[in-house]
Amino acid sequence: MQHTQLGRTGLSVSRLCLGTMNFGPETTAVDSHAILDKSLELGIDFLDTANVYGAKRGEGVTERILGDWFAAGPAKRDRVVIATKVFGTMGDGANDRGCSAFHIRAACEESLKRLRTDRIDLYQMHHIDRSTPWDELWQAMDQLVTQGKVLYVGSSNFAGWHIATACQTAARRGSLGLVSEQSKYSLACRTVELEVLPACRHYGVGVIPWSPLDGGLLGGVLGSDAGKRRSSDHMKKRIEALRPQLTRWEALCTKLGERPADVALAWLLRNPAVTAPIIGPRTMEQLTQGLRALELTLDTETVAEIDRIWPGPGNVAPEAYAW
């Protein structure tokens, strides 16, 4: 397993991040623990979750599955970097959501209990909270860091403007500020190249792409087996809308002799702004297949062809908007 530093920090994490969103809703606790064991065996020591994961509002099902795994083998906790999130609705109260100091404190305590740990290595704001002043937010996060309950703070689904403002405010307060940004980023969704990626590079914020296969779209959907697995009406419509691109994409991957999912991940990994794409396996097979991407090197000609199939925004901002 390859490792890299998380943004500008000294923290080392695996180049693939294990996403746990399927733990609970799609994958049983027993199978989830087996995937976690295998991940650790393979050297994947970066785990991502959220307090809202688990498909049961306010219960933190996925965090509890992770907490039970830690409790069954306490030594495992110090071998992994655990990232979770705050923002989503966790109850019926007026302050049971968002990033107010009130909610951040309560949500952190609850996540610590469910995860059965004394600290959260990376505490991520799941979404921008437009109603909470930055000074209030950083005061709350700084207090958790001072108490040792949180080590690093990250963001998710932030715009470039949000990242810049968050980092500038933190710097003014003498805080470390954001060290990571978790954005939707894949060949089929390259909007973040305009402003989010440039902002992250400027401030030393590591990018953690979620949905790197765009919900499975880039994983080889034109084959009969794949088509059966992805039978939702939404996915069918997307496949039909993008069929010309998908046909060229899968033909290129066949020419390379590689699985489309591996090529899509390898394309992300070659970007120096990217720390670790999140892979969210439902099964053991899906976990082990993803490792091939780490071995792939895409040559210039292949990358150029990929850009023709899945063109990005054309440039970074503001050059993309002007000349």
* Beta carbons within 10 angstroms of residue 316's beta carbon: 17
What is the bridge-based pairing of β-strands 12-14 and 3-5? antiparallel
Q: How far apart are CA 201 and CA 196, in angstroms?
A: 9
Q: What is the DSSP secondary structure assignment for residue 12, as one 8-state letter?
A: E
How many CA atoms within 13 Å lie on the side-chain side of 299?
3
Q: Which residue has the tokens 């693939």?
A: 16
Tell me the DSSP string of 52-89: TTTSSTTT-HHHHHHHHHHHH-GGGGGGSEEEEEE-S-
Query: If DSSP states are collapsed to H, E and C, what string results for 144-199?
Result: HHHCCCEEEEEEECCCHHHHHHHHHHHHHHCCCCEEEEEEECECCECHHHCCHHHH
Count of CB atoms situated within 10 Å of the CB of 47: 25
Length of the chain: 323
On whether the CB atoms of residues 11 and 5 are closer than 8 A, the answer is yes
Cβ count near 295 (within 10 Å):
10
Q: State which H helix or E strand residue 125 sits in.
A: strand 120-125
> Is 53 tagged catalytic?
yes
The C-alpha atoms of residue 227 and residue 222 are separated, in whole angstroms, by 6
Q: Which of 53, 123, 152, 203 is catalytic?
A: 53
Rounded to 10 degrees, the C-alpha dihedral 24/29/35/39 comes to 90
Dist. CA 220–CA 250, nearest whole Å: 7
Amino acid (1-letter code) at residue 184:
K
The residues carrying an active-site annotation are: 53
